[in-house]
A and B are shown apart, each in its own frame.
Chain A
Amino acid sequence: MNAASRFLLVSALAVSVTACVTINIYFPAAAAEKAADRIIDEVWQLRDAAPDAPAAPAAADAQGETK
């Protein structure tokens, strides 16, 4: 590996490290818009779409056993 390619690799690394950091603080605008729309639907009752709450858990049942 010559000096040039090592330099390239190091720069690529540096770029990816900083890119990584950038990604982490990047605001997911598209997802936020979707989330806002869902909340607006509910608050303004624009659709009578079922709320996206998770299916109600089956009532706790029989799980005690003694022996």
Chain B
Amino acid sequence: MKVASSFTRWFAVVLFGLLLGGAVQAQGNLEVNTPAIATLKQSMQQRHARLAPLYASGAVGLAADGSVALRDAGSVPLAQRGQVNGLIAAENADRAALYREIARANGHPEWESDVRRTFAQRWIDRAQPGWWVQKSGAWVRK
């Protein structure tokens, strides 16, 4: 009985240690340095040169779901609206891939929606003054 109870105590200590370890790990950094994430970042960075004026003009806004959306195509010349739509679709494909890759790189594919939500908030929080962002369903100008 004595042996058994000291064993259980030891076991509890080990478990508690594991628990702390898990907690510490959970507070650590998120892995974002994979080749796929680097490629996506580079692709998005290159595209940003073409998207930035569209954010500034309000043609494209930062949506609440972590994507970008055609908000007011009226400020884009008619012949270029299709291209802007393509640009948005390509950006959103990269963003979706980025969120999936980050979740995957950290061994938790199920985190995709959490990653997306976090990014959605940060894109919006860090948008430049004058850009349009979506808050509780409505577009507002920062």
Is the pairing of A and B real? yes
Minimum distance in angstroms from B38 CB to a CB of chain A: 8
Known: A9-B12, A32-B115. A40 touches B30 (CB 8 A): no
Which of the residues A23, A38, A52 comes within 8 Å of B19, measured between beta carbons? A23
Residue pair A17, B118 in contact (C-beta under 8 Å): no
Which single residue of chain B is at the shortest CB-CB distance from A53?
B33
Known contacts: A32-B30, A45-B45. The answer to whether A13 contacts B11 by CB under 8 A is yes
- Determine the chain B residues whose CB is within 8 A of the CB of A44 once the complex forms: 48, 52, 126
* Contacting pair B30 A31 (CB below 8 A): yes
Residues A42 and B45 in contact, CB atoms below 8 Å apart: yes
B54 on the A face (CB < 8 A): no
Question: Residue A33 at the B interface, CB < 8 A?
Answer: yes
Is there an interface contact between B122 and A20, defined as CB atoms closer than 8 Å?
A: no
User: How many B residues touch A, CB cutoff 8 Å?
Assistant: 38
Task: For the complex formed, measure the closest distance between the CB of B103 and the CB atoms of chain A, giving whole angstroms.
Answer: 9
Interface residues in A26-52 by Cβ distance below 8 A to B read 26-40, 42-46, 52
Q: Please measure, in the bound complex, the distance between the C-alpha atom of A25 and the C-alpha atom of B111, giving whole angstroms.
A: 9
Given the known inter-chain contacts A42-B41, A43-B44, A45-B45, please indicate yes or no for A35 contacting B30, CB distance below 8 A. Answer: yes
CB distance from A1 to the nearest CB of B (A): 5
A27 to chain B, nearest CB (A): 4
Interchain residue pairs A-B with the least CB separation, the first 10:
A23-B22, A36-B122, A35-B30, A27-B114, A32-B118, A31-B30, A43-B44, A1-B5, A35-B32, A16-B15
* Interface, chain B (partner A; CB < 8 A): 1, 5, 8-9, 11-12, 15-16, 18-19, 22-23, 26-30, 32-33, 37, 41, 44-45, 48, 52, 98, 102, 108, 110-111, 114-115, 118-119, 121-123, 126
Residues of chain A having any CB pair with chain B under 8 Å: 1, 6, 9-10, 12-13, 16-17, 19-20, 23-40, 42-46, 52-53
